[in-house]
Amino acid sequence: MNIQDFISQKVSNALITVGAPKNTKWQVSTARRAEFGDYQVNGIISIAKSIGISPRELSKKILPLLKLTDIASKIELSGAGFINIFLNKQWISKQIEFILKNEQLVIKQMNPKTIIIDYSAPNIAKQMHVGHLRSTIIGDSIARILEFLGHKVIRANHIGDWGTHFGMLIAYLEKNKKNYTSDIILSDIETFYRQAKKHYDEDEDFAKLSRHYVVKLQSGDKHCKEIWRKLVNISINKNQQIYHRLNVTLTKKDIMSESFYNHMLPDIVTDLMSKGLAINNNGAIVVYLNEFKNKNGDAMGVIIKKKDGGYLYTTTDIACAKYRYETLHADRIIYYTDSRQHQHLMQVWAIVRKAGYIPEKVSLEHHMLGMMLDKNGKPFKTRDGGTIRLIDLLDEAVDRASKLIRSKNLSMPENKLQLIIQSIAVGAIKYADLSKKRTTNYIFDWDKMLSFEGNTAPYIQYAYTRIVSLLKKEKINLIDINESIVLTNEYEKKLAIRLLQFEETILTVACEGLPHIMCSYLYKLAGLFSSFYEYCPILNAENNILKCSRLKLAILTKKTLKIGLKLLGINTIERM
């Protein structure tokens, strides 16, 4: 049950009854201190001011209208008019019993929508690097969460397999008579690209040749497409290995590359011109947007077709958005890219709205990402200033986790030990990123992320393992426990309330695309269980009723941690 939403509905009805203006701002939130109850109603002061009465007077009017007798043991006023709500222990117990019977924790199913999530999107012909990590794992977590809530999620891996860099590569291979049909690997292609880029920057004739090959490729030249396809397949296979190691759900069928939309581009340009949105400016086709101004204060021009006949990323992204609505029938489209892409996307979306390709009812969202930084607050790079490859980052994580786990002298078969090491390593990297608000930059710190203390994946994974060990000792199934849950102290009550808050947490994450909220929830849940475990004997409880009640709380905590970590793309460990 979503307690926050339930109380919010009651507060909303009460405010309407007392004559509060529409669209007034108020909030139901969890109380930060025990003396203020379990939930608080905030914002009463500003509402009272708008209707000309004191906050306490308004709160007194609201109180009898809340109708929370079923769930609250006490509702009181504090300070200038804050409303504090104390949940009823018996009601909490009944809700826990109800949730325990359902594998999905009885999360309220949403009105199913078709949601497209654009994430990862590495460039082809280059190794995936740390700059791709945030988009890949945050987008994947949100995809998992939205599917869990019953939505139809379409994962879109908009790989960069088109454009100038392929013109450079083809020009270089042709000019140097490189045998692209031989067994070249991705590192070879990267070497070719670096050399091609050097020529492109220093040799104008080579630059012209590269642009010529871009146009030939976009025009469907058979020879160019043969070279292009070979290079693309090598990169895709390598990227898929990275996704598998990262426990990311993207597969080859989720690839919707830039080249996929190439056939649409001529019609897009023609249509925008026929609608008067695009004009010919000295041979280039341009859309002028009054919403965006250049440094002179004039409407900014967005080129959709160059003088040489080549198309740009903007043209492709317009076609992409159009396709996602008209063909895939998207209700909501979310992009996970860094903040530097924001203006580009806003311009694209302004054009598709003006052209009537996507109606206002369809939500277009750019969930911006901050950067990964080193301990000095600078972009995370190798010692020589190069970009860190994702494969190298994963290898180092495994190496560090291996040393850490092997130092515990665990006696188990090597294959099982390797599974634990992989789960700890990948979980640590993913959680370190997911636990930070996605819009902010964060410091990458090996020591912190692999610690079994603090807000880390190993800490939460270990909390789960402790519960598994506890339940193995008792050797009992939930169906064998007939006693009801009783909450006899604050440790039990706090843990139970936190368990009930899983639904409101997951709905907030799904709405705002902020997985750090889920991480904070799981971290606090693990901490509350630790306190509960320390102060509330389970297997040695005073009587069987208490023992069974506490076992049920442990079972639900285990289930919630497992589902929560799975939604983040992090594996749990049965033994550590």
Using CA atoms, how far apart are residues 26 and 66, in angstroms rounded to an integer? 15
Of 250, 175, 160, the closest CA to residue 209 belongs to 175
- At which residue do the structure tokens 């006693």 appear? 483
Using CA atoms, how far apart are residues 297 and 446, in angstroms rounded to an integer? 47
Helix (H) or strand (E) holding 75: strand 72-78
Long-range own/partner contacts, residues 31-34 (CB < 8 A, 24 or more apart): 31/84, 34/490
The per-residue pLDDT string of the chain (576 residues; one tens digit each, 9 = 90 and over) reads 789 999 999 999 999 898 888 778 888 999 988 889 999 998 888 898 888 889 899 999 999 999 998 899 999 998 888 899 999 999 999 999 999 888 777 677 778 999 999 999 998 878 898 989 999 999 999 999 999 999 999 999 999 887 788 889 889 888 887 665 566 777 888 888 889 999 999 999 999 999 999 888 888 889 888 888 888 888 899 999 999 999 999 999 999 998 899 899 999 999 999 999 999 999 999 999 999 998 888 999 999 999 988 899 999 999 999 999 999 999 999 999 999 999 999 999 999 999 999 999 999 999 999 988 888 888 877 666 678 889 999 999 999 999 999 888 778 889 999 999 999 999 999 999 999 999 999 888 888 999 999 999 999 999 999 999 999 888 777 667 888 899 999 999 999 999 999 999 999 999 999 999 999 999 999 999 999 999 999 999 999 999 999 999 999 999 999 999 999 999 999 987
Dihedral sign for Cα 51, 54, 59, 64, please. negative
Q: Are 271 and 157 in contact (CB under 8 A)?
A: no
Give the model's pLDDT for residue 410: 74
- At which residue do the structure tokens 């964060």 appear? 442
Structural domains of the chain in order of their starting residue, each with its CATH number: 3-87 (3.30.1360.70), 164-254 (no CATH), 258-369 (3.40.50.620)
Please list, residue by residue across 25-54, b when 16 or more beta carbons sit within 10 angstroms of its beta carbon and e when fewer do.
ebebeeeeeeebbbbbbebbbebbeeeebe
Neighbours of 431 (CB within 10 A): 28
Helix (H) or strand (E) holding 56: helix 55-62
Give the model's pLDDT for residue 160: 84
Using CA atoms, how far apart are residues 180 and 174, in angstroms rounded to an integer? 9
Give the model's pLDDT for residue 81: 83
Report helix, strand and coil shares of the chain as percent, to nearest 5: 55, 15, 30
SS (H, E, C) 262-301: HHHHHHHHHHHHHCCCEEEECCEEEEEEEEEECCCCCEEE
At 74, the amino acid letter reads K
Give the model's pLDDT for residue 193: 85
Is residue 140 helix, strand or coil?
helix
Here the tokens at position 472 are 């193995």
Give the model's pLDDT for residue 181: 55
Here the tokens at position 396 are 């180092």
Give the model's pLDDT for residue 382: 67
Using CA atoms, how far apart are residues 286 and 280, in angstroms rounded to an integer? 6
Edge-to-edge strand ranges of the sheet holding 299-305:
278-281, 284-293, 299-305
Q: What DSSP designation does 128 have?
A: -
Using CA atoms, how far apart are residues 310 and 285, in angstroms rounded to an integer? 10
Here the tokens at position 540 are 């040695």
Of 462, 573, 513, the closest CA to residue 140 belongs to 513
pTM above 0.75, yes or no: yes
DSSP-assigned letters across all residues of 407-422: TTT--S-HHHHHHHHH
Work out the end-to-end distance of the chain between its first and last CA atoms, rounded to an integer number of angstroms: 33
Here the tokens at position 196 are 């091609």
Using CA atoms, how far apart are residues 576 and 572, in angstroms rounded to an integer? 10
